[in-house]
Structure 1
């Protein structure tokens, strides 16, 4: 059974996707309907009335001559009637005594022949047939009389008016002109919206966007002004946050530096201290190192991609650099990447995001596998590990700031619960996303997607 909504769903699928095409469709459909209705009314009224009158006049003329020669069979009178008909009515009569009706079947393909056949019936006293010869400029009427065949040749132009062609030309020409004007007008209206959409898309991906000009319809102008105001507010907030973070970084690192200096001085005097004091100094040093890591993680989380500008870069080379650093740190990483992969990229932000993901894979597994390549209209980076993985129901929770899932991963691996949060924030700032799935290696697969 076909659902009641199926025709509407099918219609939606058949509709064009673009605003310009849909707008033109809104204009063209009523125009076409108007022209169809006008044409129908014209043919139903004008064509029918005019054609009937023209065919009726020709039929009466043929019938008059036919009855005349039948009533007065004199050859001189017959020749005189034929001559008058040829000169004044463009009808060429020929009489063939003793001849029979030619084997001509009536045709339904020619509307002129059909119209004349309908009108000849009341006027001709004997059986007849019309040879329309479609495509020719003339047609012939054959009438079987008791004495022979009466043949009448007449031009088709006597049976219709040329105003029909003028009307059709006017219908087609006005439709094309209106469609052309509508296309130009709608393109000019849609162009500002396309510029605004491209600017919003570039800004959402962290790329340099062209200045949006305030133009077009009132609604488009309002949207352009709102976008410009929003972009300025976001840029201002980013600048303020960056300036604040610079101050926070300085204020937090200064006491940490002093504490590290004091620990260094205490380490030099550790010979005169007992073992318990020495252990306390080591514990304090570990606490300071952990505080420094925490501050770096917090700053990375709040900083995001900052004010870095996207530039054309080779993502494959960047991935190879990050993998190389982790290999030098003792990590076992297998890399497979297409070369080159050129796209607008915030290199530092990507290195930080990819580094966090690869670091997590190596921290929770023994080995990592990295594959990077172009898939359709986007770049895909897959990072697999052979660790314990993450339960499917909790994969979105690990993207929350400071959320730890040590119970399901390797215990004692440390971390602030910000690695994946920072990675997704940075990748989304470039118009992409980070998705967690099961890995064929038995652990977790992290899928990074970036637009080209």
Structure 2
């Protein structure tokens, strides 16, 4: 039970620490450097004030209070004007103090002294120990003077001392040295860490661009040994992926040529056999084979070699909708008014994915609508229709190659089963996501989300 009671506070503490920790590597590196630096400065300050400062102030206050006590004794023994002049002369010459005696005066009961000042507190304690008479200490007597008034039986003795007799400049020198050295160390660490983290940031940008299907310029591995190894591994991985894609594309181009040649010969031979039922059935089979081969090659080329170009997504959707309408197919288009910056896309591939989605929607619905929306870090394209939709349990399977919801395998009603697969591959090649939902029109909604 004790363990159960202690776990929630610990979990809350870890959660608070995670929320307030810097999110970037640069911020965390700075925190790792600044934390011991701040602790060191705090410990140094504590030791200075607790040891050196306290000892120094106590000695200064004790020395000044002792001199005041001596002057009090001298004045009490002989308060005559001649003696006072002699005491003042000796105090100015040997102690740097100005002595004034006001005969018959009464010490004012002052309030509001800055007792929060540790130096004045120590001075009061020293005066109480050495003088043992009513007194006032005024640190603002003017011209950097401290006024000490002591009540004597015949009047008030006033002693003026320079503030350096009680306050030491070593405090400010120590603070300035401490802050100055901390700022210099911080600036050096800032420059060093920026230089070390720049290669990591460059590698992250290149990896993200490659994941989004964009062109990644060559960069030289820099930084620490581990960072250079990671950059070299990324470049090797990128080269292997590109080589595999090229090999696959070249292989499929050869397959396309090899398959089309015998299919063409079969079509010519069937055309010479006449026009009976068996020949027509064989011709239909050959056409199905051609359609399937073209569909498979189109799917395989979905990874494609099209280069990314800077594209305005609104113009792309407008051109696509205009082309569909020119073909006699009604298509609704709604686009957000929010500005969307130009993006690095493969425009023909995106149009091809949209064409597959719109073609599938038209096959089962009367109304098809494309909607463009934008968020802070991505844009979304919705393809909605008013058809019968797809059962939720089948939505994960329709993206599989050659999967068809129509069990009859009739290409006129169900296609080759590669439309959604090609669209998915194109979206994934841009680093995006695609999914199926219920449409506001009552049918199926295809949601495409591509980061900017």
Name the TM-score, length of structure 1 as normaliser.
0.91
Does the Cα contact within 8 Å between 1:35 and 1:171 map onto a contact in 2?
yes
Matched, 1:334 2:341: no
Greater displacement, 83-92 / 207-216: 83-92
Matched, 1:294 2:301: no
Rounded to whole Å, the distance in 1 between the matches of 2:354 and 2:216 is: 25
Rounded to whole Å, the distance in 2 between the matches of 1:166 and 1:112 is: 17
Give unpaired runs (5+ residues) of structure 2.
none
| TM-superposition CA deviations, 1:392-417 (whole Å, max 9, x none) | 3442332222333348xx99831232
Matched, 1:103 2:101: no
Rounded to whole Å, the distance in 2 between the matches of 1:186 and 1:256 is: 64
Secondary structure, in 3 states, of the residue corresponding to 2:441? Answer: coil
What residue is the counterpart of 2:386 in the other structure? Answer: 386
- 2:309 aligned to which of 292, 308, 311: 311
Deviation at residue 136 of structure 1 after TM alignment: 6.9
Rounded to whole Å, the distance in 2 between the matches of 1:5 and 1:72 is: 77
Does the Cα contact within 8 Å between 1:337 and 1:373 map onto a contact in 2?
yes
What residue is the counterpart of 1:320 in the other structure? Answer: 318
What residue is the counterpart of 1:275 in the other structure? Answer: none
Rounded to whole Å, the distance in 2 between the matches of 1:355 and 1:388 is: 20
Matched, 1:352 2:358: no
Does the Cα contact within 8 Å between 1:212 and 1:228 map onto a contact in 2?
no
| TM-superposition CA deviations, 1:220-257 (whole Å, max 9, x none) | 01101101110111111111111101101111111222
| TM-superposition CA deviations, 1:81-113 (whole Å, max 9, x none) | 122112222222211112112231133243332
Greater displacement, 176-185 / 329-338: 329-338
Name the TM-score, length of structure 2 as normaliser.
0.91
Does the Cα contact within 8 Å between 1:126 and 1:144 map onto a contact in 2?
yes
Q: How does 1:146-295 map to 2 (within 5 A)?
A: 146-266=153-273, 269-270=274-275, 278-295=276-293
CA change 1:186–1:135 in 2 (3 A) is farther
Does the Cα contact within 8 Å between 1:104 and 1:131 map onto a contact in 2?
no
CA change 1:212–1:250 in 2 (3 A) is same
Deviation at residue 19 of structure 1 after TM alignment: 1.1
Does the Cα contact within 8 Å between 1:345 and 1:430 map onto a contact in 2?
yes
| TM-superposition CA deviations, 1:373-405 (whole Å, max 9, x none) | 433232221110111222334423322223333
The root-mean-square deviation of aligned C-alpha atoms, in Å, is 2.3
Does the Cα contact within 8 Å between 2:133 and 2:151 map onto a contact in 1?
yes
Deviation at residue 330 of structure 1 after TM alignment: 4.5
Matched, 1:8 2:6: no
Does the Cα contact within 8 Å between 2:352 and 2:423 map onto a contact in 1?
yes
Matched, 1:447 2:444: no
| TM-superposition CA deviations, 1:186-223 (whole Å, max 9, x none) | 11111111111111111112211111212110100110
Greater displacement, 364-373 / 212-221: 364-373
Deviation at residue 335 of structure 1 after TM alignment: 1.2
Does the Cα contact within 8 Å between 2:141 and 2:147 map onto a contact in 1?
no
What residue is the counterpart of 2:24 in the other structure? Answer: 18
